[in-house]
Amino acid sequence: MTPSRGAPNVLVTGTPGTGKTTTCELICQATGLRHINIGDLVKEQELHSGWDEEFDCFVIDEDKVCDSLEATMAAGGNVVDYHGCDFFPERWFDLVIVLQTDNTVLWNRLEKRNYKMNKIQENVECEIMQMIVEEARESYQPGIVQVLPSNTVEDMESNVDRTVAWLAAWRAGQ
């Protein structure tokens, strides 16, 4: 189905540390699309039901997040950045990018962030089990899901270039 919005919406998902935020920033710089970091939005608008002591993060209120974003997403032109993807309406997205990182690389990135050991372990296990890839494949049409490596700066540049090219093709098809 061709979406009626004037610009597409892209979801960039993946385990924490795989490079979502950095990649989204570069995509938005290159394309003029709007970066929506769900973690920041949850904090700013208090779209949560409290703090999870064990995992050092807010317990996100998914319904509130979706309500808050509905009008923005209907307008199009957004790059959404979040480490989950099964609670967004499927109709929101034209492209879903899942970033993947090798375990040791990911472990080192999360250590540098000073994550607690249980949080590093949980995230690396999530990556090993390919949980976000599975979630994306269960939640969206296979044709719009792209699983891309994000180990090196070259990977990141290539992922940004691919997305810029995808956007140009989307616009040409309108």
Among residues 144, 156, 157, which one has the least CA distance to residue 19? 156
The CA-atom distances, in angstroms, between 79 and each of 22, 76, 123, 157 are: 12, 9, 23, 16
Q: Which of 152, 161, 165, 168 binds ligand DAT (CB under 6 A)?
A: 152
Report the phi/psi class of residue 76: left, alpha or beta, with left for phi > 0 and alpha for psi in -120 to 50. Answer: left
Residue 109 counted as an annotated binding residue: no
Distance (Å, rounded) from C-alpha 127 to C-alpha 120? 11
Residue 139 corresponds to which tokens in the numbers above? Answer: 């939640």
Q: Give the binding range for ligand DAT (CB under 6 A) out of 2-10, 26-34, 117-125, 144-152.
A: 144-152
Task: Read off the DSSP letter of residue 8.
Answer: -
Q: Which stretch binds ligand DAT (CB under 6 A): 43-51, 131-139, 152-160, 165-173?
A: 152-160
Binding mask 80-119 for ligand DAT (x = CB under 6 A): -----------------------------x----------
Copy the structure tokens of residue 169: 């093709």
- 155: part of which helix (H) or strand (E)? helix 153-172
Q: How far is the CB of 91 from ligand DAT (least distance, A)?
A: 24
Identify which range of 45-53, 119-127, 135-143, 146-154 contacts ligand DAT by CB under 6 A: 146-154
Asked whether residue 17 is marked as a ligand-binding residue, the answer is yes
Binding-site annotation, residues for ATP = 17, 19-22, 113
Footprint of ligand DAT on this chain (CB under 6 A)? 14, 16-22, 109, 150-153, 155-156
